[in-house]
Amino acid sequence: MVKINKRNQMLLFCRNTGLSIKYDEYKNDFQFHKLPVHRDITQFYAYAYVCINGIVLFFGGWNGEYGTNDIILKSVHKYSIQENMWTTFEHTLTSPLHHCFAIFNENNYIHIIGGEGENVTVSTHVKTKVRVWDSKSLVIICLFILMKHK
């Protein structure tokens, strides 16, 4: 959830549903907007996602099936809110994962914690830099370094 003054915005993604829910505390008003969902993850849920600087990063996911139709993803996707565009990364998680969660800290790291792998609960902790998944952050960091050295 993102809070701007007394206006809150929440994002909800599950299977083929994407919603932006805005709440204005001044007006006591809710607004709902549908968001597109990438075709590769419309059959999935239980992925971790985190919103950073107008992008949403999705890690893993599960189709909710048991047995031979059971599919667990190790893919990573990005949704740009401003551009209304999806990207699938070539880099993936090291192993399939679902029912995990992701958090972002002020040191520009994303932590992916816990979850389930292939029929086993895992106590995993993956720590990754935001710039690995958001090239705009990398450009900002490079510009900052260049300006600092002038």
Residues 58-86: tens digit of each pLDDT: 999 999 888 788 899 999 999 998 899 99
Tell me, yes or no, whether 26 and 48 share the same domain.
Answer: no
Indicate if 46 and 20 belong to the same structural domain: no
- Which pTM does this prediction carry? 0.78
Tell me: the pLDDT tens digits for 13-30?
999 999 999 988 888 999
Total domains in the fold of the chain: 2
Please tell me whether residues 104 and 60 are part of one structural domain. Answer: yes
Nearest partner of 134 among 101, 104, 98, 113, judged by Cα: 104
Residues 28 and 77 in one domain: no
Is there a single domain that holds both residue 30 and residue 48?
no
Tell me the residue range of the domain where 28 lies.
1-35
For 100-139, b/e burial (b = at least 16 CB within 10 A) is bebeeeeeeebebeebbbeeeeeebebebebeebbeebee
Query: Which pLDDT does position 25 carry in this prediction?
Result: 84
